[in-house]
Homo-oligomer: A and B are copies of this chain.
């Protein structure tokens, strides 16, 4: 299991906290794209798109390959495994709270209607 350092975890969660960056990641999951292609679906300047790509790069989620004048962006999903590892500590808690709710609903079902 990949364990991220606190500062990497900050950068990963910060990168994920924006809908445009999450949408960019989803498109990059299909295939690598240039910054221009990533900016295209949005009413957004190339500079603004580049700022989002930089936040993804700082988190290690995107690798940029410079080919002449084109910056090709590739998704690196590995840091997400670190985020997943961090979340896994809490998995038992949310599973338990669902089980408790389930037990409560089943107990309610067994009772006669008031």
Contacts and interface: CB of A to CB of B under 8 A. Distances in A.
Instruction: Summarize A's interface: helix, strand, loop or mixed.
Output: helix
A66 interface: no
Contacts of A13: 13-14, 16-17
A97 B78 CA distance: 8
Interface string A89-111: 11101100100000000000000
Contact of A94 (B11, B14, B81): B81
Given A87-B84, A91-B84, A17 B10 contact: yes
A55 to B, nearest CB: 11
A114 interface: no
A22 interface: yes
Interface of A: 6, 9-11, 13-14, 16-19, 22, 25-26, 29, 75-78, 80-81, 83-84, 86-87, 89-91, 93-94, 97
